[in-house]
Amino acid sequence: MLTLPFDEQSSNQTISSLRMSWTSNKLVKLIKPEIDRVLEESLETRREDELRNAEVKEEESEAGDPAWLRRRASQKKKLSHSRLDRVRLRRIEANARERHRMHGLNNALDSLRKVVPCYSKTQKLSKIETLRLAKNYIWVLSEILSTGKRLDLLTFVQTLCKGLSQPTTNLVAGCLQLNTCSVISQPDEESLSLYAAYHHHPGPEAGGSTTAGSGRSLRPFGSFCSPFESLNDSSSPESSGSLDMGTLSPPFNFSGLFTLKHEEPVDYRSCHNGLRYCPINQGCSSDLGPYDIQLRGQFYQVQGELNKPFHN
DNA sequence: TAGGCCATCTGGTCCT
DNA sequence: AGGACCAGATGGCCTA
């Protein structure tokens, strides 16, 4: 007799989920008949219990229930065993489909994790953080495209980290070997000048902390406005408290239309964790810096170039 | 131990 | 009728 890792009190849900989980395992082929038998026994037991309970409930309620409820109860009563079985079978199938659907969703999220900065097999980003990071990443790329200006690493990371939790911020900063404090609190002059260029209006979130004066702010980019605003009425990634992908669409569909070209072969080892960027005080004179945007059809090359340094 | 995250189940709704 | 999608509920696991 096979001993399954759950006792008789385990619910059918547990049994069916275990059954589904094990389906992919080759071992299950050997023990499947046993699993099916236990499952059927469990289903049968539960079926009998539910029928008993339903009968008791109907007896209890028939006296004072409204007519529609009595009708419903009598309809239930009329459900034959075969009909009940069919209903339950449909429920089981629906559960399996739902699981499959959610697995598909999770696979898609995994794919997304691999194309955003800071992909790590060991420390997986949560679903919500993955979406937030992706949103910020798209926004940064759109900024680079629309302004034609490079972002220094600090700005890049700070923008990526907008709205992310502290652990994720740490992860992103860690990927780039940045001090987290500098990511969240101390924008450099270059960054500030860049914000000034973008600064159209303070925005609703800029009322509280500021970057000037105190030199310390939890939200240093509160007034970092996107040039897209005039076109799309969109705002910076930080402008909405909740996840709002809809307002952040870029001004045009650039997917597959551009690539980033390095001016010269890059030795990633000489840079912070591989990212080629212009550190503060090193005076990169090029307008575009390392990002030489060209209209080609090599989006994935861009993606690879941008992500290569971050992925460990 | 509380809180975050996740997988799963479930019933409702909409669509074909 | 049946499938896809969604949101709420629930319980397990992990971590600070």
Find the distance separating the first CA and the last CA of chain A, reported in whole Å. Answer: 47
Average pLDDT on A138-161 reads 86
Structure tokens at A279: 């550190």
The answer for A249, left when phi > 0, alpha when psi is -120 to 50, beta otherwise, is beta
- Asked whether the beta carbons of A188 and A153 are under 8 A apart, the reply is no
Distance CA A304, CA A14 (A): 42
The label of the residue with tokens 């930080």 reads A238
Enter the tokens of residue A125: 């980003």
Which of A144-158, A175-189, A255-269, A298-312 is predicted most confidently? Answer: A144-158
Distances (CA, A) of A13 to A7, A102, A110, A171: 13, 17, 26, 36
Q: Specify the higher pLDDT residue, A165 or A297.
A: A165
pLDDT the model gives residue A172: 78
Predicted pLDDT at A158: 83
Contact positions of strand C to protein Cβ (< 7 A): 2-7
A13 CB inside 7 Å of strand B: yes
Give the pLDDT band (50/70/90) at residue A306. low
**Strand partners of residue A292:** A261
Distance A80 CA to C9 C1' (A): 29
Cα radius of gyration rounded to whole Å, chain A:
29
Residues 102-121 of A with CB under 7 A from strand B: 102-103, 106
Torsional sign, CA A234, A158, A256, A147: positive
Please report the beta strands in chain A, taking only residues with DSSP state E, as ranges in sequence order. Answer: 259-261, 292-294
Residue A162 has pLDDT above 80, yes or no: yes
Taking CA A98 as the corner, what is the angle to CA A87 and CA A35, rounded to the nearest 5 degrees? 70
CB of A223 closer than 8 Å to CB of A238: no
- A306 CA to C10 C1' in angstroms comes to 41
> What is the phi/psi pair of residue A267, to 5°?
-95, 95
Find and list the nucleotides of strand B having atoms within 7 Å of a protein beta carbon. Answer: 4-12
Identity of the residue numbered A286: S
Q: Which nucleotide across the nucleic acid strands is nearest to A102, CA versus C1'? A: B7
Strand B within 7 Å of which CB atoms in A 202-231? none
